[in-house]
Amino acid sequence: MSGQEIKIIDLRSDTITHPTPAMRKAIFDADVGDDVYGEDPTVNRLEALAAEMMGKEGALFTTSGTQSNLTAVLTHTKHGDEIIVGNQAHMLWYEVGSASAIGGVVIRTVPNDSCGRLSLDDIEETIRDKDIHYPVTTLLCLENTHNRCGGTILTPDYTDEVCELAHTRGLKVYLDGARVFNAAVALGVPASTLTRNVDSVGLCLSKGLSAPVGSLLCGNRDFIQRARKFRKMLGGGMRQAGIIAAAGIVALEKMVDRLVEDHSNARRLADGLASIEGITLARDDIPTNIVMFDLSPELSITEFLEGLETRGVKVGFRDGGPFRAVTHCMVSYSDVDEALTRIEAVCRGLHHRA
């Protein structure tokens, strides 16, 4: 296909989504002020909307999910405290160790099961007793949907159980809800049902919701007031931020319900991949918009990726696998079918050479 004009089908992540025409218009028309003074009306409106959707008293607009996660850790803990996270948590793998490097906390891990859950028994055993030799365990972090586990969902009942345990032992619970709306849409419940008992939650606007930048950290009023100072410390105190907050409002008002299309396309993609010789799915169920798959050992990973690149298909691959393909609003039903055709051609060519 070299030399031909082909459409690039980018399945690396839903972070590659571009702002919609409605977002671009909202950005152009945005009413702005100085948000550090609390005077940007568009930011204020976005924060109020997010707080309402999460069932919390307040919200704080941040530059990214990573900034929301770190700000939450800083706000809930002090230097020398211990936090509990899953051993597959995004906070552990992909945020440059910021909770330890900047937050000064000890990170203790509990195994995630294949659905991204932490065993209640494991959590109970990991919480430190009060002892002069131990750091104080103060925060438990969950993730919904779970990235490294394949877009899996934590149910409201499970989250409630974890929160009850944590609160009984004096811990706060933070939910990394970067894709929490994917979970809500998949379960057919309001997002607030998934966050009703967590103390704080962060959500991303710039993934499946298609805004160009931004995240929101939600919690009670006192938490948000303290978090605002930590956001400033991290360089996240923006001025006329309504320019980007305007796109976030469109994301929350217009882009949530359509996530069901991404989930449907992900299942179609998974079914197609499963039928290609040389590919096996890392998990049979596809809860949301993330498809994980493996390549047969006799096929070259390098040649597979090079073949996809030549044919205009991009997928994610790091940490030794598996491969990851993520559907989003820039990948249509027909794009999925075309991607499958191209992937099958690559695998067929590799089998001929093997």
How many CB atoms neighbour CB 53 within 10 A? 22
Residues 200 and 290 in one domain: no
CATH label of the domain that carries residue 162:
3.40.640.10
pTM of the entire structure? 0.96
Same domain, 54 and 189: yes
Query: Does 64 map to a domain?
Result: yes
Are residues 171 and 58 part of one domain? yes
Task: Verify that 226 and 295 share a domain, yes or no.
Answer: no
Domain that holds residue 166: 21-254
Task: Give 96-162 as a DSSP string.
Answer: TTHHHHTT--EEEEE-B-TTS-B-HHHHHHHSPPS-TTSPPEEEEEEESSBTTTTSB---HHHHHHH
Please report whether residue 120 resides in a domain. Answer: yes
Domain membership flag for residue 239: yes
| Rounded mean pLDDT, 250-276 | 98
Indicate if 246 and 262 belong to the same structural domain: no
Dump pLDDT digits (tens) for 135-174.
999 999 999 999 999 999 999 999 999 999 999 999 999 9
Q: In the predicted model, is pLDDT for residue 273 greater than 80?
A: yes
Of the candidates 77, 108, 92, 60, the residue with the CA atom closest to the CA atom of residue 236 = 60
Q: Do 144 and 30 share a structural domain?
A: yes
Mean pLDDT, to the nearest integer, of 171-185? 98
Do 191 and 49 meet the contact criterion of CB atoms below 8 Å apart? no
Q: Is residue 2 part of a domain?
A: no
Cα–Cα dist 222/227, whole Å: 9
User: In terms of domains, do 228 and 90 share one?
Assistant: yes
Q: Encode pLDDT of 278-324 as tens digits.
A: 999 999 899 999 999 999 999 999 999 999 999 999 999 987 889 99
Is 3 within the bounds of a domain? Answer: no
Q: Of 220, 237, 254, which residue constitutes the final position of a domain?
A: 254
- Among the candidates 254, 271, 303, a domain finishes at 254
Q: What is the pLDDT of residues 86-143, one digit of tens each?
A: 999 999 999 999 999 999 999 999 999 999 999 999 999 999 999 999 999 999 999 9
237 lies in the same domain as 112: yes
pLDDT digits (tens, 9 = 90+) for 43-99: 999 999 999 999 999 999 999 999 999 999 999 999 999 999 999 999 999 999 999
> Rounded to whole angstroms, what are the CA distances from 231 to 36, 70, 100?
10, 9, 17
> Per the structure block, which two tokens stand in for 5?
């004009």
User: Among 199, 233, 254, which residue terminates a domain?
Assistant: 254
Task: Please give the pLDDT value at position 321.
Answer: 84
What's the number of domains the chain is made of?
2
**Confidence class for position 354, pLDDT limits 50, 70, 90:** low
Q: Is residue 4 part of a domain?
A: no
* 339 and 229 part of one domain: no
Residues 149 and 219 in one domain: yes
Q: Is the pLDDT score of 253 beyond 50? A: yes
pLDDT digits (tens, 9 = 90+) for 226-241: 999 999 999 999 999 9
Same domain for 336 and 200: no
What is the structure's pLDDT at 3? 53
